[in-house]
Structure 1
Amino acid sequence: MNAGSPAHQKKTSLFSLWRSPVAAATGSPKAISSSSSPNHSSSCCRGLNNCEILNATVVSQSHQLSPRHKQQLEELEIELEKQKELRGLYKMRMQRTQDYLRYCLEIAQEKGFLNSILNNCDDIEEDTIKPSIPPPPLSNHSDLSTVVDQAMSNGWYIETREIELQEKIGQGSTAEIYRGIWRGLDVAVKCISPEFFESNENGISYFAQEVETLSRQRHRFVLHLMGACLDPPNHGWIVTEFMTTTLKEWMHGSGKRKKERTVDLPPLPERLKRALEISQALQYLHEHKPVIIHRDLKPSNIFLDDAFHVRVADFGHARFLTDGQMALTGETGTYVYMAPEVIRCEPYNEKCDVYSFGVILNELITGDHPYIETDYGPSRIALEVADGNLRPAIAEHQNDQLLEELNELIQISWDEHPANRPSFPTVTRRLRAIQESLTNYEL
């Protein structure tokens, strides 16, 4: 599917929530790949050299298996499909790396200094070779001691004994989130796992960056930092205002992704309000000096207060960029919401957040999880997005001017070329205008 070509897009109705099946052209029925590695095949397929043989055997003998064994085999098929997708993703990365290196060599030859490098390389001593440009720091303030000094000076340094941890309310890949009580106030406590610091040499810098980034924010729609326990690895805790609902839960209910809706879809005006508040929060971050790019914008990282106002949260992947600077740190974020240039490991700037917002805005308008109309896994989605062939299904506007304007904003926000994507000030203005037009909009 191509976002720029409405004729080729699967479309869903805004109000009927109709979902079209996946066209045959977008993929073929899943099958176990026969190109799995030998070791994997031998361990998972019980000595069979070809996974397709196993698949045929399973089909012919499935009626003889117990339900538990059938479930195990289904899980095996899913795992093999994931491995196939990952191999394709790695192959794509390798091909893009080779293309980029070839391009660099062509430029070097064109500029006339390739021969100079080749002719003089023998004269260069090993101990004199130094990188011409040092790698950029994680942020402007990634040193923990500096953050500790700031916290003590400004009154937001929290001793561990001041926090009374209550029940766990969330679980991430690097942290657990608890409800806590601090000075009589309900707070959320993000406890970074000690293993994260022990296994990641830059763990403390990332932690310091997240705390320092949050400490700078003074915006209604950005999560408010109450303080932090700055004693990793055992007490790397970030204490924020307490909220129980995410945008994802507000839209889809709790639990995993489902094709069928289990909760009522909030009214369109309310969904547009949430979109405008997210845009305002990102406008604030992008107009910060230096620019703050979030890099992991998704509904589960956006919280709602008791009045359902937005709080953009989780700055663990955030990055500072000076004017004109580009980031190049490999894929960062979540595949479903990740910009194609980030997936391709190309230089990127704050426009990667605009792409993520476009996916979220479409999710708010359609009420559907991105790519729920397909059976693709995250790796397959990444491959198709990186090639520019896939975007989420948009709502069918049915000659509705307001919905048509929203679709145009969505599609330009997730445009393949970052330069074509609007800035958040532009997004905010357009959403305000659309919201004002809702006064006369009949649902």
Structure 2
Amino acid sequence: MPVRGTHKLDEFEVVEVIGSGQYGVCKKVKRKSDEKVFVWKELDYGQMTETEKKLLCQEVNLLRELKHQYIVRYYDRVIDRSNTTLYIVMEYCEGGDLASYISRCKTERRYIEENFIWKILFQLLLALQECHRRREGVDKVLHRDLKPANIFLDANRNAKLGDFGLARILAHNYSLAKTFVGTPYYMSPEVLSQQGYNESSDLWSLGCVIYELCSLSPPFNAPNQEILAVKVKEGKFRPIPSHYSTELQAVIVRLLKVEPSQRASIDTLFSTRSLRLLLWEKELHQQESELKELRIKLKTREAALDQKEKDLTAREQGLHQKDRRELLELVKVKQPREGATSQENQPPIQPTSSKPFHPKPILKVKSSRT
């Protein structure tokens, strides 16, 4: 079994039960420290065979590696060995799963808007692209059980691909898996024929999901699996309702090609006008986000520079005031010494004569007339 994660069981509070399966239940939980909401898959591995335990370990390891905007995020796992239970803590999707959404629309007798269907198709293609085109040194992944119940919606009605319990890792680009797994309504012809299959099998399942979003029912229906297999292998299905665009109908037809080699790939689908526009919109939004982050960084840097400039100015003023005070103190100290020195350097005053002063008589000058 996988190693215990960073959380403890008593750090969570169960809010409600969301669903249940053969080996356990899925519950909405809340982390006590910050009241953040999660979902955990509560799995009793004590009842599993060794093969099933191995697959469970594979799913946990796979979830830990898959980090993508449109894939349900894995957070942690907690093991309770006392009751042989594994808790896989994952992202909570407020919008529920796509199967429930389709069921509500069917009950309300209303079709799903086409723009929403294009958005779901676009986001699931990006999620599958992340699985099928793994990074260098990491194997590619087939989901193998793509269906509305395994596609979730967040608060903004964005698609999140989840439940990789049947996923298989392919170590080579041309590897063909041969295990018979999946949900019959969404199984590809090659899987039903128990032939080897690759990532194009997931694209067939995606075509079935998109068809169901349009028609509110799967493209292939039958009372039993044998008849269903015959219909799937024939590849004949009714067209989607006429109020949807011919472009959307054409995409579904390209995805539901019986021959895998003729089936549309992710790259060719992105050349479709509507998907290409969504891709451009996403790239533009990403560029805007990057520019916004850059502006924030620039403003932060400008604020830091402004503060640094203020600090330097204040420091400069402080130094100037300090220098001025020191200069004034120096002037005060030097002034008395300079006064004393000037007096000392003056020549001595000569003493006057001690003889009495007798003024000379004023002689009167006779006029020449006398």
2:234 alignment counterpart: 389
Match of 1:354 among 203, 211, 220: 203
Correspondence 1:416 to 2:258: yes
The one-letter code matched in structure 2 to 1:192 is: L
The 8 Å contact of residues 280 and 428 in structure 1, kept in 2 or not, is answered as no
Correspondence 1:248 to 2:99: yes
Correspondence 1:368 to 2:216: yes
1:297 alignment counterpart: 146
Query: Compared with structure 1, are the counterparts of its residues 305 and 352 closer, same or farther at alpha carbon in structure 2 (3 Å cutoff)?
Result: same
Q: 1:291-334: CA deviations, max 9, x gaps? A: 11100000110000011011100010111112234344432110
State the Cα distance separating 1:210 from its structure 2 match. 1.0
User: Unaligned stretches of 5+ in structure 2?
Assistant: 281-370
2:343 alignment counterpart: none
Q: Percent identity?
A: 24
Match of 2:59 among 203, 207, 210: 210
Q: Tell me how large the CA RMSD over aligned residues is.
A: 2.6
Q: What SS is found at the alignment partner of 2:245?
A: helix
Distance 2:191 2:87 in 1: 29
Larger Rg: 2
Distance 1:282 1:375 in 2: 28
The one-letter code matched in structure 1 to 2:84 is: N
2:158 alignment counterpart: 309
Q: 1:183-217: CA deviations, max 9, x gaps? A: 422111111134xx434221221111111111112
State the Cα distance separating 1:420 from its structure 2 match. 1.5
Correspondence 1:285 to 2:135: no
TM norm structure 2: 0.67
State the Cα distance separating 1:404 from its structure 2 match. 2.2
Q: 1:204-239: CA deviations, max 9, x gaps? A: 211111111111122110001121114567221111
Query: Compared with structure 1, are the counterparts of its residues 251 and 428 closer, same or farther at alpha carbon in structure 2 (3 Å cutoff)?
Result: farther
The one-letter code matched in structure 1 to 2:122 is: L
Query: Compared with structure 1, are the counterparts of its residues 371 and 422 closer, same or farther at alpha carbon in structure 2 (3 Å cutoff)?
Result: closer
Distance 2:22 2:239 in 1: 31
Distance 2:57 2:190 in 1: 27
State the Cα distance separating 1:181 from its structure 2 match. 1.6
Query: Compared with structure 1, are the counterparts of its residues 436 and 193 closer, same or farther at alpha carbon in structure 2 (3 Å cutoff)?
Result: closer
Q: What SS is found at the alignment partner of 1:330?
A: coil
Match of 1:220 among 38, 57, 69: 69
| Large movers: runs of 4+ above 4 Å | 434-437
User: How do residues 232-243 of structure 1 correspond to structure 2 at under 5 angstroms?
Assistant: 234-243=84-93
Q: What SS is found at the alignment partner of 2:108?
A: coil
The 8 Å contact of residues 251 and 367 in structure 1, kept in 2 or not, is answered as no
Q: 1:263-287: CA deviations, max 9, x gaps? A: 5333211121111111111111111
Correspondence 1:343 to 2:192: yes
State the Cα distance separating 1:424 from its structure 2 match. 1.8
Distance 2:277 2:60 in 1: 36
Distance 1:377 1:434 in 2: 41
User: How do residues 249-268 of structure 1 correspond to structure 2 at under 5 angstroms?
Assistant: 249-253=100-104, 261-262=107-108, 264-268=110-114
Query: Compared with structure 1, are the counterparts of its residues 428 and 247 closer, same or farther at alpha carbon in structure 2 (3 Å cutoff)?
Result: farther
Correspondence 1:324 to 2:173: yes
Distance 2:72 2:58 in 1: 15
The 8 Å contact of residues 211 and 219 in structure 2, kept in 1 or not, is answered as no
Distance 2:76 2:236 in 1: 39
Correspondence 1:380 to 2:263: no
Q: What SS is found at the alignment partner of 1:236?
A: strand
The 8 Å contact of residues 235 and 256 in structure 2, kept in 1 or not, is answered as no
Distance 1:202 1:236 in 2: 16
Distance 2:156 2:126 in 1: 17
1:432 alignment counterpart: 275
Query: Compared with structure 1, are the counterparts of its residues 180 and 379 closer, same or farther at alpha carbon in structure 2 (3 Å cutoff)?
Result: farther
State the Cα distance separating 1:423 from its structure 2 match. 2.0
Q: Greater relative contact order (Cα 8 A, min sep 6): structure 1 or 2?
A: 1
Query: Compared with structure 1, are the counterparts of its residues 404 and 284 closer, same or farther at alpha carbon in structure 2 (3 Å cutoff)?
Result: same
State the Cα distance separating 1:174 from its structure 2 match. 3.4
Query: Compared with structure 1, are the counterparts of its residues 414 and 157 closer, same or farther at alpha carbon in structure 2 (3 Å cutoff)?
Result: farther
The 8 Å contact of residues 222 and 228 in structure 2, kept in 1 or not, is answered as no
Distance 1:265 1:286 in 2: 31
Q: 1:118-139: CA deviations, max 9, x gaps? A: xxxxxxxxxxxxxxxxxxxxxx
1:164 alignment counterpart: 13
